[in-house]
A and B are shown apart, each in its own frame.
Chain A
Amino acid sequence: MSPSVPLQEMIRAIRSARTQCEERGVIQRECAAIRAQFRQADNGGRSHNLAKLLYVHMLGYPAHFGQMECVRMIASPRYSEKRVGYLGAMMLLDEKQDASLLITNSIKNDLSHSNQYVQSLALCTLACMGSAEMCRDLAPEIDRLLRASNSYIKKKAALCAVHIVRKVHDLGELFAPAARSLLAEKNHGVLHGAVVLIIELCERNPETLERFRKTVPDLVQIMKGLVLSGYSPEHDVAGISDPFLQVRILRLLRILGHNNEGASDAMNDLLAQVATNTDSTKTVGNAVLYETVLTVLDIKSESGLRVLAVNILGRFLLNNDRNIRYIAMTSLQKIVGTDHNAVQRHRGTIVDCLKDQDASVKRRALELSLALVSASNVRSMMKELLLFLSSCPAELKAHAASGIFNAAERYAPSQRWHIDTILHVLTTAGGDVRDETVPNLIQLITNASELHCYTVHKLYRALLTDISQQSLVQVACWCIGEYGDLLLRGECQETEAVQVTEDDVLDALETVLQSHMSSPTRITDNVDRIRSIVSIYGSCIDVELQQRAVEYNALFKKYDHMSLFPPPVCGFPQVCDLLDLLGGSEETLQPSPAVGAPAPGLLINTASTAGGDLLDLLGVLEPAPLAPGVTLRHTHTHTHTHTHTHTHTHTPQSDTGLTVTLTASNSTDSDISSFTLQAAVPKLYLSLAGPFLAASHYIKSFLLQVNLKMRVRISYTSQGSAFQDTVQIDSFPGLDAAGQ
């Protein structure tokens, strides 16, 4: 075909432009010329113009003004113009464009054209961009062509029918009979099209699938012919006869044999034959083997055949070609649940693939390895996985870490091994550990009571080495806060004794705080949490420690511009967190008026409305100024200088009951009237992920599933004014871990 000189000249001109700007200039000029040409009458060069426009379009420039020209060209009697016109339609007119409907008539005419190459253009375009409406319109035409035309047209009509069925599912029924008869054709192109069409019909309609099951013997025959026939030059690809057709037939057999004993039996021998006879030295052979394996694994095949299939996958795993290894692992992933033992046999090779250079292969290997961890191999598998974690690509770290945690949780041979594994992950990939895992880890550590000493020592040491891993720091700090006394005691059975002083501990925490203070984003989160540990020491007997703790508290307040509540006192958690626990409340809290060491005042929540029902206590309360001279005192706190006091005590009574006694005393001069007391406990006890690092008492109470909290509201009148106070009681001394 002679080259289109005008087109090539333009391409040359565009390519010689040295800058983007220059190129734009050339294109603008060309487009203007093209536009002008479109407006002119037929000049014999129309196809060249449209081709130019299509090139410009491919470069990314707008070409909408060419749409109508495409419609005109398609209607032209000249083949050259039709050819470019249809190409333009496929490039510029997708089904979303209104103009696409305009070509329906042309397509219809061309489908019945005397020249098969014109018919071909119409079929190709319809199959590429035909809208549902166009498909409905032209389906009968396609059906006609499926039955009465030459092979060249039949094969195209079959694929056109596939597109129609994808667009308009109901039309499947229309094509089923024709599809069935096409299976008798000898032409490979037609056969291929027919198989693709039948696959589409069966996938969409179970009844159609039932009917096509009868074709299994025919399909088996065709396959046999392909596999056992001699060399056929026309269809040979590296010794395989028409691999494209083979793969399609295998796929259709898979669909027909799925969940059906009879059909599966009928194809069993053939599949075994293909599996054993197909040459696997080239990709093309492996493509056929791959499809065979997929089919064997998805139908009701004999166990021997199944083993054969898995072994092929095993061989694939050892293939030098990375692509083959990749698809082997994809396939094994699909059957690791059902054929677990068979896949286990290849565990070694899979684990080796963790070290592959390619990230896709690594990802597959990771998935499979995690699926293959079992009680018997957990120690060795974990070694490999931890090794992998230290050097794996960043995008896989989080997944690997959580996978390791899950596997460790399910199959840990001992608690100490479990904790060691967790520590290893935290030190290697602590930054990538998902937020929810940290509370789970704390729970685990809490439960492993004999190992508290060991754990805290290890965490402390880890903290000293590296404070950059966020989650490690969080867990370590919490642990030190919780079991700090064990740390200070020095001796530990499971690990070498290290003399740790309180100073050392504070130094470590100080380093953490300093590094965190320099990162403003985490400041409110961690400072609040860590400060609560520090405040433990605020009530220490050791004066120096107490002073240090106080200094820190002051330092915290300096950075506290974003926080709305005062530092918590030990045993008294931040109310905000609890409100979340109790169902969520958005109000801001007023800082207590008493500021300073060692024990700032109680957190008080006041509401302006006197009374209100019990449910209100657990709901949203509006902030109000603190009523003067009123305070509520909790037995756990220190006393302070307010005029009213009110205490509560409790006595554990029975398994199901708990008595809480509230004693109120009036130490003012005036009388108090209309004294009411309301108390509420939440129905649900949530264990939450989120704030977990706080004063040790707090952490104990909410981590454990049963935790009793109570909100108490007292209202009264004094000297003519109404007052109301609410206080949260979060732990009941004397309650043991189980809340009893």
Chain B
Amino acid sequence: MQFMLLFSRQGKLRLQKWYVPLSDKEKKKITRELVQTVLARKPKMCSFLEWRDLKVVYKRYASLYFCCAIEDQDNELITLEIIHRYVELLDKYFGSVCELDIIFNFEKAYFILDEFLLGGEAQETSKKNVLKAIEQADLLQETKEQKVKLSILH
């Protein structure tokens, strides 16, 4: 996978994960153009499009578009499954996830994504294991924070 973008129906970016080195300017340009292209598509259309020299796979979940750019030899259908898996993870973590959750807890959305994909490839195929890892990492963060808070009180 080259990159993944999450954006709203108004074209507002909610998450961007880039797995290829591009300048900020290039990223902005790609984002702007691709968002425009995807938003222009009608509801019943194909989830796949050829854009520039990339294959783009996208799917809309409620008010959010999940959009991935994959390599030529990648399997489009399994990419749809990857997108679906990510949505399921978010859903499990936030409890019936909605766009606001991702807006107000964007850094967590990234942490979850980084526990599921690494370098653009799926690293863990078990939903349970991904969620367990996130839980443990969160716990670690909390414990350390608590430790710090306690030390300040004393």
Q: A94-B22, A244-B81, A247-B78 are in contact. Are A323 and B129 (CB under 8 A)?
A: no
Q: Are B78 and A243 in contact (CB under 8 A)?
A: yes
Check: B103 CB closer than 8 A to any chain A CB. Answer: yes
Which of A51-59, A457-465, A551-559, A578-586 binds B? A51-59
A-B contact pairs, 10 of them (CB 8 A): A3-B104, A83-B141, A120-B115, A128-B118, A131-B21, A192-B124, A193-B123, A235-B125, A291-B75, A360-B46
What 1/0 flags go to A358-373 for Cβ under 8 Å of B? 1111000000000000
* Contact partners of A124 in chain B: CB under 8 A: 114, 118
Check: A189 CB closer than 8 A to any chain B CB. Answer: yes
Q: Are A162 and B125 in contact (CB under 8 A)?
A: no
Check: B50 CB closer than 8 A to any chain A CB. Answer: yes
Interfacial residues of chain B within 80-134, with CB under 8 A of chain A in the complex:
80-82, 103-108, 110-111, 114-115, 118-119, 121-126, 128-129, 133
Interfacial residues of chain A within 431-456, with CB under 8 A of chain B in the complex:
none
Q: Are A58 and B16 in contact (CB under 8 A)?
A: yes
Check: A572 CB closer than 8 A to any chain B CB. Answer: no
* Contact partners of A235 in chain B: CB under 8 A: 125-126
Check: A540 CB closer than 8 A to any chain B CB. Answer: no
* Contact partners of B49 in chain A: CB under 8 A: 360
Q: Are A357 and B44 in contact (CB under 8 A)?
A: yes
Q: Are A11 and B104 in contact (CB under 8 A)?
A: yes
Report which residue of A123, A188, A244, A361 has the largest number of chain B beta carbons within 10 angstroms of its beta carbon.
A244
> Which bracket fits the contact residues of B?
35 or more
* Contact partners of A131 in chain B: CB under 8 A: 21
Q: Are A156 and B125 in contact (CB under 8 A)?
A: no
* Contact partners of A159 in chain B: CB under 8 A: 118-119, 121, 123
Q: How far is the CA of A84 from the CA of B107 in the complex (A)?
A: 8
Which of A282-290, A610-618, A656-664, A693-701 binds B? A282-290
- A32 CB, min distance to chain B CBs, angstroms: 21
- A666 CB, min distance to chain B CBs, angstroms: 70
Check: A327 CB closer than 8 A to any chain B CB. Answer: yes
Check: A115 CB closer than 8 A to any chain B CB. Answer: yes
Chain A residue nearest to B28 (CB atoms) is A60
Q: A79-B144, A234-B128, A358-B46 are in contact. Are A11 and B81 (CB under 8 A)?
A: no
> Which bracket fits the contact residues of A?
35 or more
Q: Are B136 and A117 in contact (CB under 8 A)?
A: yes
Q: How far is the CA of A357 from the CA of B105 in the complex (A)?
A: 38
* Contact partners of A78 in chain B: CB under 8 A: 144-145, 148
Check: B13 CB closer than 8 A to any chain A CB. Answer: yes
Q: Which of B77, B136, B137, B145 has a CB less than 8 Å from the CB of A290?
A: B77
Q: Are A323 and B22 in contact (CB under 8 A)?
A: no
Q: Are B123 and A189 in contact (CB under 8 A)?
A: yes
- A711 CB, min distance to chain B CBs, angstroms: 48
Chain B residue nearest to A127 (CB atoms) is B119
Q: Which of B45, B50, B118, B124 has a CB less than 8 Å from the CB of A358?
A: B45
- A284 CB, min distance to chain B CBs, angstroms: 5
Q: How far is the CA of A11 from the CA of B23 in the complex (A)?
A: 26
Chain A residue nearest to B147 (CB atoms) is A78
Q: Which of B48, B119, B141, B149 has a CB less than 8 Å from the CB of A360?
A: B48
Q: Are B123 and A322 in contact (CB under 8 A)?
A: no
* Contact partners of A94 in chain B: CB under 8 A: 18, 21-23
Interfacial residues of chain B within 10-69, with CB under 8 A of chain A in the complex:
13-16, 18-19, 21-23, 28, 42, 44-50
Q: How far is the CA of A357 from the CA of B107 in the complex (A)?
A: 39
* Contact partners of B46 in chain A: CB under 8 A: 322-323, 326, 358, 360-361
Interfacial residues of chain A within 684-706, with CB under 8 A of chain B in the complex:
none
Q: How far is the CA of A719 from the CA of B121 in the complex (A)?
A: 90
Q: Contact residues of A with B, CB < 8 Å?
A: 1-4, 7-8, 11, 15, 44, 51, 54-55, 58-60, 78-80, 83-84, 87, 94-96, 115, 117, 120, 123-124, 127-129, 131, 152, 155-156, 159-160, 162-163, 188-189, 192-193, 196, 234-235, 237, 242-245, 247, 251, 283-284, 286-287, 290-291, 294, 322-324, 326-327, 357-361
- A378 CB, min distance to chain B CBs, angstroms: 29
Q: Are B107 and A87 in contact (CB under 8 A)?
A: yes
* Contact partners of B115 in chain A: CB under 8 A: 120
- A639 CB, min distance to chain B CBs, angstroms: 64
Q: A358-B46, A361-B46 are in contact. Are A162 and B16 (CB under 8 A)?
A: no
Q: How far is the CA of A360 from the CA of B58 in the complex (A)?
A: 14
Q: How far is the CA of A130 from the CA of B104 in the complex (A)?
A: 29
Q: Which of B105, B121, B141 has a CB less than 8 Å from the CB of A196?
A: B121
* Contact partners of B15 in chain A: CB under 8 A: 58
* Contact partners of A192 in chain B: CB under 8 A: 122-125
Q: Which of A155, A196, A360 has a CB less than 8 Å from the CB of B45?
A: A360
Q: Given A163-B119, A189-B124, A357-B45, list of 4 further CB < 8 A pairs?
A: A188-B126, A235-B125, A323-B76, A323-B80
Q: Are B75 and A247 in contact (CB under 8 A)?
A: yes
Chain A residue nearest to B144 (CB atoms) is A79
Q: How far is the CA of A95 from the CA of B21 in the complex (A)?
A: 6
Q: A58-B13, A79-B141, A155-B123 are in contact. Are A323 and B77 (CB under 8 A)?
A: yes
Chain A residue nearest to B19 (CB atoms) is A128
Q: Are A284 and B19 in contact (CB under 8 A)?
A: no
Q: How far is the CA of A55 from the CA of B109 in the complex (A)?
A: 12
- A2 CB, min distance to chain B CBs, angstroms: 7
- A130 CB, min distance to chain B CBs, angstroms: 9
* Contact partners of B124 in chain A: CB under 8 A: 155, 188-189, 192
Q: Are A127 and B118 in contact (CB under 8 A)?
A: yes
Q: How far is the CA of A55 from the CA of B114 in the complex (A)?
A: 17
Q: How far is the CA of A304 from the CA of B31 in the complex (A)?
A: 46
Q: How far is the CA of A526 from the CA of B80 in the complex (A)?
A: 53
* Contact partners of B73 in chain A: CB under 8 A: 251
Q: Are A156 and B21 in contact (CB under 8 A)?
A: no
Q: Are B152 and A44 in contact (CB under 8 A)?
A: yes
- B70 CB, min distance to chain A CBs, angstroms: 13
Q: Are B107 and A188 in contact (CB under 8 A)?
A: no
Q: How far is the CA of A87 from the CA of B18 in the complex (A)?
A: 12
- B108 CB, min distance to chain A CBs, angstroms: 7
Q: How far is the CA of A1 from the CA of B124 in the complex (A)?
A: 22
Chain B residue nearest to A325 (CB atoms) is B46
- A508 CB, min distance to chain B CBs, angstroms: 42
Q: Are B77 and A283 in contact (CB under 8 A)?
A: yes
* Contact partners of A361 in chain B: CB under 8 A: 46
Chain A residue nearest to B135 (CB atoms) is A1
